[in-house]
């Protein structure tokens, strides 16, 4: 349980320990992280940038190659999204980022390597604004499968942006099913 006013550093340290414990216990390095968080990319000047918070959580994770976000279309400007990645995700191992726009999720699920999942009780863009929790236990495997199918259904066309790190910066490489 985190109390209102928790620092981003305290939250980040907790998440780092959670990831490290899983890596040590399972011998399975974190290679892919997927997050359903409607406002994970929305910056509110009253709080720290959500990508800064996430970047702090991922410090010292050397094998992470891909991040997938399922978010609300709260940020209208693709360039603003890319600028956030350039500001906060240049100096880490991440090589690909997918942004999928879907307004049908309320809860914040975090998926590790498509095998483990847990809930974070607040959005990245308002860490410390209110009391919240991070689920200690992971979902059962069958529940992870159901959640992944909801988040990333095969064949369903949703607006999606794909970014890759190239020559020291993030580049938007694909846009799928652009909504007007």
Q: What percent of the chain has pLDDT over 70?
A: 98
The model's pLDDT over 75-105, given as tens digits with 9 standing for 90+, comes to: 888 999 999 999 999 888 999 999 999 988 8
Report yes or no on 2 lying in a domain. no
User: CA 161, CA 72: separation in Å to the nearest integer?
Assistant: 13
Q: What does the block give as tokens for 118?
A: 């847990």
**Would the pLDDT of 178 be above 80?**
no
Any idea what the CATH number is for the domain that residue 96 is in?
3.30.870
User: CA 118, CA 132: separation in Å to the nearest integer?
Assistant: 14
The model's pLDDT over 30-42, given as tens digits with 9 standing for 90+, comes to: 999 999 999 999 9
Report yes or no on 3 lying in a domain. no
Residue 179's pLDDT band, with cuts at 50, 70 and 90, is low
**What residue has token string 């279309």?**
73
Supply the angle between the helices 50-57 and 8-26 in degrees, to the nearest 10: 40
Q: How far is CA 93 from CA 73, 139, 179, in A?
A: 26, 27, 31
DSSP character at residue 132: B
Q: Which domain holds residue 35?
A: 8-176
Q: How many domains does the structure of the chain reveal?
A: 1
Report yes or no on 92 lying in a domain. yes
């Amino acid at each position: 349980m985190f109390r209102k006013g928790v620092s981003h550093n305290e939250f980040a340290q907790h998440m780092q320990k959670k990831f490290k414990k899983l890596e040590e216990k399972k011998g399975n390095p974190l290679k892919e992280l997927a997050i359903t968080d409607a406002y994970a990319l929305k910056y509110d000047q009253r709080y720290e940038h959500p990508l800064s918070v996430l970047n702090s959580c991922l410090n010292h994770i050397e094998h992470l190659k891909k991040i997938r976000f399922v978010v609300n279309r709260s940020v209208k400007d693709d360039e603003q999204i890319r600028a956030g990645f350039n500001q906060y995700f240049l100096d880490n191992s991440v090589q690909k980022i997918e942004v999928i726009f879907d307004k049908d999720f309320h809860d914040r699920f975090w998926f590790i390597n498509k095998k483990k999942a847990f809930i974070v009780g607040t959005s990245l863009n308002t860490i410390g604004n209110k009391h919240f929790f991070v689920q200690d236990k992971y979902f059962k495997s069958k529940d992870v499968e159901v959640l992944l199918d909801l988040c990333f259904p095969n064949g369903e066309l949703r607006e999606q942006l794909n970014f890759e790190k190239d020559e020291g910066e993030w580049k938007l490489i694909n846009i799928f099913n652009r909504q007007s």
